[in-house]
A and B are shown apart, each in its own frame.
Chain A
Amino acid sequence: MATKSFGQVIKMTRKERENIWLRRSEDIATLKRRIGSMKQNFTTVMYADNDTQAMVKYLYNLREVSKMKKADLATLKQAAALMLEFDKRRAIVYYRLNRTAKLLGEAIEALKKVRTVKGYQALIGEVLLYIGRLNYWIDLEIPWSKLAKAFPKNP
């Protein structure tokens, strides 16, 4: 399979994000079917929520650091690739977020082709917007109100 160009990956990520903007991501359905320890789905969804939230924070911070004058592009690329590779694996194995994992794989390949800070910001920015949207979809799956009522309050 031919690797996509940098521009194609940006476009693809944007399109995926637009597709899930107001319509639930297909990945949510597979996440909801992923059975975790002791044959339940709750912890899978909660962990996916935590992980995607953490991704948003590091992607935001990578983008912010890249705006600094002395930012070193090679190090920024390596840091992003390491973190995205780790989360790509969790997306597939733990959460069955298959479309997201594919997209992260494409982003990791595209990172290798990044030659400028502007290009880096464009790529990280698109991945950040996509993961942010996905995380909010996962958040909608969690019955926060019911959980809050059931959770014991410390007197």
Chain B
Amino acid sequence: MSRLLITIGREKVWAEFLEKEAPQTVRIIKRHAPLKGLLNHAKICDHEVFFQTPFFIDVKENPKYPVPGDIGYWPVRQTICIWYDEMEPLGPTNLFARITGNLKGFQKEARKTWSKQGTQIRFELMD
């Protein structure tokens, strides 16, 4: 199982790729890693932050309603979305990874983006 190191603000967080459920999406994300972005906060769905990718993923894989800790790709805006606590998502999204380490740290930093958007985020491959 390959992993992802996420740096959000001052926190380091770990996630596992869903390689069985979304193999093509994972492959594309890995090909473009490391990814850097600035976080925007969701305005309606509640506890969600996201950042844009400079590429398209044109496959529909593993479309599911997210739960806290899930990471997905939303093709309409070419964004990586991270749901970090309770929320009401627009619909199923292509989930490709899940936070497995330090979700609390992610929540702490992500929550701050509601009042101060633009937090830096970085996705790096771990192994």
Check: A94 CB closer than 8 A to any chain B CB: no
**Chain A contacts with B in 3-50, Cβ cutoff 8 A:** 17-18, 21-22
Cα-based distance from A125 to B54 in the complex (angstroms): 10
Residues of B within 8 A of A18 (CB): 54
Residues in B lying within 8 Å of A, measured CB to CB? 36-38, 40-41, 43, 51-52, 54, 56, 58, 75-78, 114-115, 117-118
A-B residue pairs in contact (CB < 8 Å), sample of 30:
A17-B54, A21-B36, A21-B54, A22-B36, A22-B37, A22-B38, A56-B77, A57-B76, A60-B75, A60-B76, A67-B58, A125-B56, A129-B52, A129-B54, A129-B78, A132-B77, A133-B52, A136-B38, A136-B51, A136-B52, A139-B40, A139-B117, A140-B38, A140-B117, A144-B41, A144-B43, A144-B114, A144-B117, A145-B114, A145-B115
| 3 cross-chain pairs, A with B, having the tightest CB-CB distances, nearest first | A145-B115, A140-B117, A140-B118
